Amino acid sequence: MKKRGKIILTAVLLTISALIIVIALLIKNANRIIKHELESFLGKDFSVSRIDLHWGKVEAFDISYKNPAGTEVFKIAHLILKADFIGILKKKYILSEISLENPYMLLEKDVKGNFVNPFLKKSPQKEEKPMPPVLIKRIEITKGSLDYLDRSVSGKPVLTRLRDVEFEIKELAFPPKDNFSSYELSANISGSQNTGTVRSKGKIKLMNKDMDGKIEIRNLDITEYKPYYQKKGDVNITRGTLDMNMDIKIRSHKINGPGKAVLKNLEFERGTGTGDKFLSMPLSAVVSFLKNNNNEIVVNFVVEGDLDNPKFNLRESIMQRISIAMAEKLGLSIKRIGESVVETGAEGAKEFSKDIKGVGEGIKKLFGR
C-alpha cells in the first residue's frame, strides 16, 4: 500500500509539474503575441523608450506621439498590458487589464465642429483584415490629463483642461457584444479663478450605444467658457461658478436626462456699454434675484432628444433647458432663450457613437491588421 501511495503521489506531482510548465509556456506565448502586436501598433509614428516582457504582463515606457505639425498630442509615462493565456486556447485575444499611468492627450475640434483624430490613418493600398475577437476585462487610467481645444466657436478657441483624471471601465468586447460595460470617471477642471471637479459613473453598451449614467459637476469656473454663451448685448461675466447633477439614460439613441443646476456667486462688469442681459434675460431681474437668494440660482430641468437628429445639440439643449427653468424662477416670460453657458462632459453622450467607432478602429488596428 505504501508503494502504491508513493506511485500515486509521484504521478500527481508529475501532472502538476507538467501543468505548470504548460501554463508558463502559454502565458509567455500570450505575452509575446501582445508585445509583438503592441510594437506593430505603435509603429514609426510613435516614440517609445522601451518595451519589456515580464511574467504575466508587457510594459511600455515613455510612449509619445506628435502630429504632423510637431505638437505632442499623446503620451503615456507607463503602459501595462496583462495578457490572459486562456484566450490563446480560445483563439481570441483576451487582455485581463490595460493600465495607463500619467497619460496625456490633446483633443481638438476644428472650425467646422469635427473632431481631429491624428491616430487613425488608413492606407489605400492596404486591405483590411477581419477583426478577431478582443476582450478587455479592465482598463484603468490614473493621473491622466486631457486638453480639449474647441476651434468651432466664434472668436478665441475654448480650452478645457482636465487634470488628475481617474478612469476605469470593465468588460469591453470588440466586435461589440450585447452587454453593459461599467465605468467610473473623476477629474479636476482647471480654471483661471478656481478648480472645478467632474464625476461620472454608470454603464454603457457598445453594441447599440445604450447608456445609464450620472454626472456631477462642482465649482466650474464659467468665465472660461464665455464664447459658448456670451452674445451681442450680453453683460460681461467677471465671476461665477456652476454646479450640476444630471442623470443620463439613452435607449435607441434617444436621451432622457433630468438634472439640477446651481449658478453661484455671479458678478458682472459695470459701466456703460457692458450690456443689459444675461443669457438673454434682463440683467436687473437676475441681479435682484441673486441678492435675495444667497447669490444663487437653483433650477431643475429635463433634457430629451434624438441623438441621431443632426439638429439636436446636447450642450445647447442642456443650457436651453437651464435658461427656461431660470426664466420661470425669475418670473419672466421669454420666447427666445440663451443657448450655452458651458460645454460639459455631458456632450460626450452626443459624440458617443463617434468615439466608440474610433476606439473600435484603434483596437482593430492593434489586433487585426
Asked if residue 254 has pLDDT above 60, the reply is yes
Tell me, what's the pLDDT at 348? 39
Nearest partner of 288 among 330, 327, 326, judged by Cα: 330
Partners of 268 in the β-ladder: 237
Query: Is residue 123 situated within a structural domain?
Result: yes
Q: Residue 336 — pLDDT band, cuts 50, 70, 90?
A: very low
Here the cell at position 24 is: 508558463
Judged on CB neighbours under 10 Å (0-12, 13-18, 19+), 310 is exposed
Query: Is residue 349 situated within a structural domain?
Result: yes
The more confident residue out of 59 and 188 is 188
Asked if residue 256 has pLDDT above 80, the reply is yes
Average pLDDT, the chain: 75
Number of domains the chain is built from: 1
Query: Is residue 354 situated within a structural domain?
Result: yes
Out of 122-126, 294-298, 318-322, least confident range: 122-126
User: What is the H or E stretch that residue 41 is in?
Assistant: helix 2-42
Query: Is residue 317 situated within a structural domain?
Result: yes
Q: Residue 174 — pLDDT band, cuts 50, 70, 90?
A: confident
Distance CA 303, CA 254 (A): 10
Residue 176, SS3 per DSSP: coil
Query: Is residue 255 situated within a structural domain?
Result: yes
Whole-model pTM: value is 0.74
Query: Is residue 152 situated within a structural domain?
Result: yes
42 within 8 A of 63, measured Cβ to Cβ:
yes
Percent of the chain scoring above 90 in pLDDT = 26
Query: Is residue 47 situated within a structural domain?
Result: no
Query: Is residue 271 situated within a structural domain?
Result: yes
103 within 8 A of 61, measured Cβ to Cβ:
no
Where in the sequence is the domain holding 217, given as residue range(s)?
A: 92-367
Asked if residue 211 has pLDDT above 90, the reply is yes
24-47 per-position pLDDT tens digit: 444 455 445 555 555 555 556 778
Asked if residue 214 has pLDDT above 80, the reply is yes
Q: Residue 359 — pLDDT band, cuts 50, 70, 90?
A: very low
Tell me, what's the pLDDT at 167? 94
363 within 8 A of 134, measured Cβ to Cβ:
yes
130-139 per-position pLDDT tens digit: 656 778 889 9
